[in-house]
């Protein structure tokens, strides 16, 4: 489903260059649950942003679902991302002035997503929190809202960047169970995590070091 061929990403700044991804090749099968590990700065977020077509690599080819992503225009990439990819950010990234159901609906491609958003949030145990603003939610509830938002368009691919980093073990387990449920329905999951909660659900664990995939 996903094919990365010789992908390199170099961040350039006044202080010099950082080779965040160094000639990375990786195939991810449709329906695979992949865990990505690596030290801080090893390129995990860069890899995830690349997979989500949010970051253009400097070199190499990215093919998702038969489409060559780095050959697309920006608007083609935006459409691709919105229709096929769900992204869960490390720090939730909920909009503070919108309540729970609004935070989910805003990501929807449909005009009227009320019923769908409510159904999804109820599945995530947030049926009685729909009109809470993020400040009035626990960390676990915020993250469940963020996961519901990532799933509102029925993506084929769910990307998550340390989704359990701010959660206690119980909440972390709940998030991973929701990923596993998505996976069991045929979804493809790539999750960056330091924790071990995802291990039992995963098909494969890869390790990054200095922008390269290495053996553990």
Ligand X SMILES: Nc1ncnc2c1ncn2[C@@H]1O[C@H](COP(=O)(O)OP(=O)(O)OP(=O)(O)O)[C@@H](O)[C@H]1O
Q: In the complex, which residues of this chain contact Mg ion (CB under 5 A)?
A: 44-45
Q: Which stretch binds ligand X (CB under 6 A): 34-42, 65-73, 144-152, 169-177?
A: 34-42
Nearest-5° Cα angle at 210, 208 to 211: 65
| Residue 40 vs 75, nearer CB to ligand X | 40
- 165 touching ligand X, by CB under 6 A: no
CB of 78 to ligand X, least distance (A): 20
- 205 touching ligand X, by CB under 6 A: no
CB of 127 to ligand X, least distance (A): 33
Q: Are 164 and 195 in contact (CB under 8 A)?
A: yes
Q: Are 105 and 98 in contact (CB under 8 A)?
A: no
- 38 touching ligand X, by CB under 6 A: yes
- 43 touching ligand X, by CB under 6 A: yes
| Residue 51 vs 120, nearer CB to ligand X | 51
CB count within 10 Å of CB 139 equals: 14
By beta-carbon distance, which residue lies closest to Mg ion?
45
| Residue 7 vs 20, nearer CB to ligand X | 20
CB of 20 to ligand X, least distance (A): 4
CB of 205 to ligand X, least distance (A): 15
Residue among 18, 26, 63, 98 that touches ligand X (CB under 6 A): 18
How far apart are the C-alpha atoms of 204 and 216, rounded to whole Å?
A: 12
Which of Mg ion, ligand X, none interacts with 41 (beta carbon under 5 to 8 A by kind)? ligand X
| Radius of gyration, alpha carbons of the chain | 17
Q: Are 133 and 126 in contact (CB under 8 A)?
A: no
Distances (CA, A) of 174 to 180, 186, 208: 10, 19, 26
CB of 54 to ligand X, least distance (A): 12
Number of residues that bind ligand X (CB under 6 A): 12
Q: In what order do the strands lie in the sheet with 188-192?
A: 85-88, 157-161, 188-192, 33-38, 204-209, 212-214
How far apart are the C-alpha atoms of 48 and 148, rounded to whole Å?
A: 19
Contact set with ligand X (CB under 6 A): 11, 13, 18, 20, 38, 40-46
């Amino acid at each position: 489903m996903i094919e990365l061929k010789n992908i390199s990403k170099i961040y350039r700044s006044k202080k010099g260059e950082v080779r965040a991804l160094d000639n990375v090749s990786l195939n991810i099968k449709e329906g695979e649950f992949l865990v990505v590990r690596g030290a801080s700065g090893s390129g995990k977020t860069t890899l995830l942003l690349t997979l989500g077509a949010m970051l253009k690599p400097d070199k190499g080819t990215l093919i998702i679902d038969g489409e060559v992503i780095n050959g697309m225009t920006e608007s083609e990439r935006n459409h691709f991302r919105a229709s096929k990819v769900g992204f869960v950010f490390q720090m939730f990234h909920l909009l503070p002035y919108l309540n729970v159901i609004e935070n989910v609906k805003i990501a929807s491609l449909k005009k009227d997503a009320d019923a769908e958003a409510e159904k999804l949030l109820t599945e995530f145990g947030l049926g009685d929190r729909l009109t809470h603003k993020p400040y009035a939610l626990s960390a676990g509830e915020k993250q469940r809202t963020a996961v519901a938002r990532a799933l509102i368009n029925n993506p084929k691919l769910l990307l998550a960047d340390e989704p359990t980093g701010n959660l206690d073990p119980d909440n972390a387990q709940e998030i991973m169970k929701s990923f596993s449920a998505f996976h069991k329905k045929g979804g493809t999951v790539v999750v960056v995590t330091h924790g071990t909660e995802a291990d039992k659900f995963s098909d494969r664990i890869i390790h990054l070091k200095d922008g390269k995939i290495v053996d553990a």
